[in-house]
Amino acid sequence: MADLIAPAISPSITVIVLIQNGLNIEREYIERYPSNVVLSGISFAGSQETRPGWIQHTSHDHLLVGAFPSPKINKTCGEAAAKSFVSLYVASGKASCCYIADTMRQRWRKLVYNATINPLCAITNLDSGSLRQGSPAMRKVIQAAMEEIMAAAAAAGHRLPLETAQELLGDDAVDDNFEPSMLQDIRKVCKIPQNL
């Protein structure tokens, strides 16, 4: 993917913004464009495909932005680029966007939720609210899975507060019935006739 954007990149000038989930997504860009600032965008925007080609946004777009650490980029330069991007993004008045200094900590924090709730919803065929309203045993599974992700984050040098799991679960209304993308994908596949 880093090679795909090469025609649009001016060395030391173009700021590259990556708005996607995951860890270490910046590596190939920092290696390919060592003199360019690479920003991390951590997006919180609920959406669902209600029918093919129709996307319904179910929550306000909120974006956290900061610079990925890079060996050849001055930290102050990355910070300035991130703050400039934030000011451009919020100028529309349609979304909220904040600068954050520690992007990796926030990536891990989001992963605590996504790596737990998304697959559990897909496995159980339940939306997030129904999953969380399930049995005490299911709530224990959710808590244990979140704690496991938090332990991985700590092992990678990003210790999250113990209350992180409860905070994340409290961010979504239990009666929200939000269908994470993994659940949406599973439900789409189940509708496709299969010849085995």
Whether 196 has a pLDDT exceeding 50, the answer reads no
DSSP-assigned beta bridge partners for residue 56: 48
HSE, CB side, 13 Å, CA atoms: give it for residue 121.
23
- 110 and 85 within one domain: no
Tally of CB atoms within 10 A around 4: 7
Share of the chain above pLDDT 90, in %: 64
Query: Strand runs (DSSP E) across 29-150, as ranges?
Result: 38-44, 47-51, 54-57, 62-67, 96-99
Residue of 18, 180, 28, 178 whose CA lies nearest to 104: 18
Report yes or no on 1 lying in a domain.
no
Place of tokens 């060996």: 71
Q: What is the pLDDT of residues 19-62, one digit of tens each?
A: 988 899 999 999 999 999 999 999 988 777 788 888 888 777 88
- 148 and 111 within one domain: yes
Mean pLDDT of the chain: 90
Residue at which a domain ends, from 99, 127, 152? 99
Asked if residues 86 and 99 have their Cβ atoms less than 8 Å apart, the reply is yes
| CA distances, 185 to each of 84, 104, 138, 191 (Å) | 36, 27, 22, 10
Residue at which a domain ends, from 99, 128, 160? 99
Spatial distance between the Cα atoms of 37 and 22, rounded to a whole number of angstroms: 19
Share of the chain above pLDDT 70, in %: 96
**47: domain range?**
6-99
Place of tokens 């306000």: 60
Q: What is the pLDDT of residues 80-120, one digit of tens each?
A: 999 999 999 999 888 899 999 999 999 999 999 999 999 99
Residue of 63, 61, 55, 65 whose CA lies nearest to 94: 61
